[in-house]
A and B are shown apart, each in its own frame.
Chain A
Amino acid sequence: MTFAEIKQRSLSRWETKQRTDKVRIIVGAGTCGQAAGARAVLRAIQASLAKHNLDASITQVGCIGLCYAEPLMDVVKPGQPRLCYGNVTPENAAQIIEDYLLRDNPRPDLALGTLGEGNIPGIPSLKDHPVLGPQVRIALRNCGNLDPRDIDGYIANGAYSGLVRALSMKPEAVIAEIKESGLRGRGGAGFPTGLKWEACRNAPGQPKYLVCNADEGDPGAFMNRALLEGDPHAVLEGMLIGAHAVGAREGYIYVRAEYPLAIEHLNTALAQMHDYGLVGDNIVGSGLSFHLKIKEGAGAFVCGEETALLASIEGKPGIPRVRPPFPAQAGLWGKPTVINNVETWGHVSAIMQKGASWFGGYGARTSKGTKTFSLVGKVARTGLIEVPMGMTLRQIVYDIGGGTSSGKPLKAVQTGGPSGGCLPASLLDLSVDYDSLAQAGAIMGSGGMIVADEDTCMVDLARYFLTFTQSESCGKCVPCRLGTRQMLMILEDITAGRGTPESMELLAELAESVKAGSLCGLGQTTPNPVLTTLRYFRDEYEAHIREKRCPALVCKDLIQYYIQPEKCRACMICLRNCPVEAISGGKRQVHVIDQSRCTKCGTCMDVCPEKFSAVTKLSGQPIPAATPAERSVWQLG
């Protein structure tokens, strides 16, 4: 079958589904949606439809990125725009079905907005929504819109047209177009994609391999998971284009095992592509043959590093090796290999569909196009976003993210995962592009963006990252293996109140040595969170070291929980819930924490009724002694 015939068939299948007189209900059922309770919502919808004998089709889609509003449910009546509801519960899902479908009340009080053409009175368009308005969704173009289990929807909406265009061009011309687009690797390092492809194409040695790096290991990042779950075809089409350009006949997708839904959707997509002749031998009669295999990771962060990843595919421990030779010259089994990140492949297909100059029209001078970010942490509207490069941190965190979730002042934005840096509030007007971030001591990384507010301790955050990288160091390079361990020990000392004035200098010195003395990206960038917190948050280190005080009230060894006698209403809740029975008091008797027994689990603070808020944390100051009067009977009313 030619591609034109395939497209015709998919279009008519898809249009039949769209044109139906049935109501369509769309539920966001990516991993996040499911974690927020999408499955229970789905069951409630089915039950409600059955109860009222209503006929509607239910589609499960990937992530539209409004993670803070999960679970999401959309209802499309024939001839009406798609109406999107957020924070849906099983109860109000059933209510929405009854009100909107039976009584024609769209429930503006529950609706987030409409998507697509047309409007419904009283309900805003999501185009104007602060989260979606400023976004340009290129890699994520189909996420949350189409059913990832149905290839027809993708083909009907333009998927694989970029492949067809590429196949009509000489491989060199495809490479030239990718170069012209200015696309740089979205895995974090930002190497120009076209140059990498050209090096591989020109490298001697056969066969050549393609690899998709889907080992998204940065804690706090889930852009690649969402893209694979929501639009596997964007990535797979990109790889087919790469195969034609580079001259590869075999490829691997290396996905971390923690992403079972992404793996499931990839497998489904590949099976459907086989049926349609879009992968395998002689793809759509073009003469291009390309075979793809999925390899599951086995839980090693270092495998996100390209040479470690290749070793892992070969069945070895994921230990990086010296570069050069780069994988483009000698990669998988010593053969020329192009390895690109999930998002990069997703951009490749968009570039070939719409052209290099269209893509290059977005973004900053040396960082073209858009970048996906997972906007998480202490931010009001957590989400998966895609914005043109060059947007400022302030626009991302405040305009899109709505500021901090606590309403407290923002302290830092952490980018680039354990390899990145912590940028202070004073740098909020920094442009988010490869070069500006690197200058500030952070990195673009794969796109994790974690917001920290006043209640986040930056020394503890540095310690957290070191705990992670120290345990994930593969152990090959001594500076990384032992240097990170020593750095972690110093940070543990500081957060436990055992730091000395020399600790900070020693830490900085070690950080520079680890950076200089490690082979791979993991070791070279591991010190970044330490160096940036030392650079921007030195006062916090000093408070821990000199005053034995944790300003954010986080470090367990430096804080104490205290029940404020004037606020305690002797309600017994904390007393009953304390797991170590460290709280004394009774009915009408102010409660007091026995500091010698307290394990600082924080349960008392969590359970103290908000209207009392009697439990507080103190650091760097003694706990006021309870006076006999306070210890005695508390006078009611």
Chain B
Amino acid sequence: MSDTALREILDSHGSESGSLVPVLQEIQGKYGYLPAEAMIEVAKRLRVDEATVYSVATFYAQFKLVPTGKHQVKVCCGTACHVRGGSKILDAAERELGIGAGATTEDREYSLDRVACFGSCALAPVVVVDKDVYGRMTPSRVKSVLDDSVRGGQQE
């Protein structure tokens, strides 16, 4: 973790407590997770307790306290996806990656998460890999979608 990058993020925000969430979001955007040292630094700069930073970091699902994989695989488990077989897509992704939801592969290539809803319900079930949204998924399409991400994004 480079101190300058962290300092730049902290400098670009004011020191009011309302900045806490956006600051943490930016740190996570930069590092992929919230390193403990960074959270301590944030507490100092925004003049709040370390416990406050930690409580915010653990309250919101977006924040990760451990490093995540290079590619973020998110399987939508919203209602529309659920009634159209989203759990089977999740099963297939778990099988394909060999990890459960919420985990990261050993080679740090993929993190797998279940997400409540992407709002692409009309195309349920949906999988999102990094920034690409894949609709009308089937369990057998999961592998090709994962391969896609290695090739650098949505090809179809």
Question: Interface on A for B, CB 8 Å cutoff?
Answer: 31-32, 34-37, 39-40, 67-68, 70, 216-222, 225-226, 257-260, 295-301, 312-319, 374-378, 382-384, 414, 417, 448, 450, 452, 456, 461, 464-465, 468, 472, 474, 579, 601-603, 606-607
Contact = CB atoms under 8 A, between A and B. Distances in A.
Interface stretch (B1-9, B14-22, B65-73, B103-111): B14-22
A461 B78 CA distance: 11
B123 A70 contact: yes
Interface string B72-86: 000001111111100
Contact of A36 (B55, B81, B123, B131): B123
- List the 6 closest A-B pairs by CB distance, nearest first: A67-B122, A219-B78, A222-B119, A299-B61, A298-B60, A220-B79
Contacts of B20: 315-316
B115 interface: yes
B63 A298 contact: yes
A601 B21 contact: no
Contacts of B119: 31, 216, 221-222, 225-226, 258-259
23 contacts: A31-B119, A32-B123, A39-B154, A40-B154, A70-B123, A219-B77, A219-B121, A221-B119, A222-B122, A257-B25, A258-B117, A258-B118, A298-B63, A299-B60, A317-B55, A374-B80, A376-B122, A376-B124, A448-B79, A450-B121, A464-B82, A468-B116, A601-B91
B21 A377 contact: no
A298 B55 contact: no
B88 interface: yes
Nearest to A602: B88
B139 A298 contact: no
Contacts of B144: none
Interface in B1-41: 16-22, 24-25
B149 interface: no
Interface string B108-145: 00000001111111111010000101111011100000
Given A456-B83, A607-B140, A383 B122 contact: yes
Contact of B117 (A35, A68, A218, A318): A218
A260 B131 contact: yes
B80 A450 contact: yes
Task: Report which residue of A217, A300, A376, A414 has the largest number of chain B beta carbons within 10 angstroms of its beta carbon.
Answer: A376
Given A221-B119, A450-B79, 18 more contacts: A70-B123, A219-B117, A220-B121, A221-B121, A226-B119, A260-B131, A296-B21, A299-B62, A313-B18, A314-B17, A315-B17, A315-B18, A316-B17, A317-B60, A374-B122, A376-B121, A448-B121, A464-B82
B123 A315 contact: no
Nearest to B82: A464
Contact of A382 (B25, B60, B121, B156): B121
A465 B82 CA distance: 10
Could you tell me the dominant secondary structure of chain A's interface residues?
mixed
Task: Report which residue of B21, B61, B84 has the largest number of chain A beta carbons within 10 angstroms of its beta carbon.
Answer: B21
B150 interface: no
B54 to A, nearest CB: 10
Contact of A378 (B16, B83, B133): B83
Contacts of A464: 79, 82
B44 interface: no
A335 to B, nearest CB: 13
Contact of B120 (A35, A296, A299): A35
Contacts of A316: 17, 20, 52, 56
Task: Report which residue of B63, B82, B138, B154 has the largest number of chain A beta carbons within 10 angstroms of its beta carbon.
Answer: B82
Contacts of A299: 60-63
Given A258-B115, A317-B55, A377-B80, A70 B133 contact: no
Contact of A461 (B22, B83, B136): B83
A317 B55 CA distance: 7
Contacts of A313: 18
A579 B95 contact: yes
Nearest to A68: B122
Contacts of B138: 606
Contacts of A221: 117, 119, 121
A380 B45 CA distance: 54
A481 B92 CA distance: 31
B118 A298 contact: no
Task: Report which residue of A375, A414, A448, A456 has the largest number of chain B beta carbons within 10 angstroms of its beta carbon.
Answer: A448
Contacts of A314: 17-18
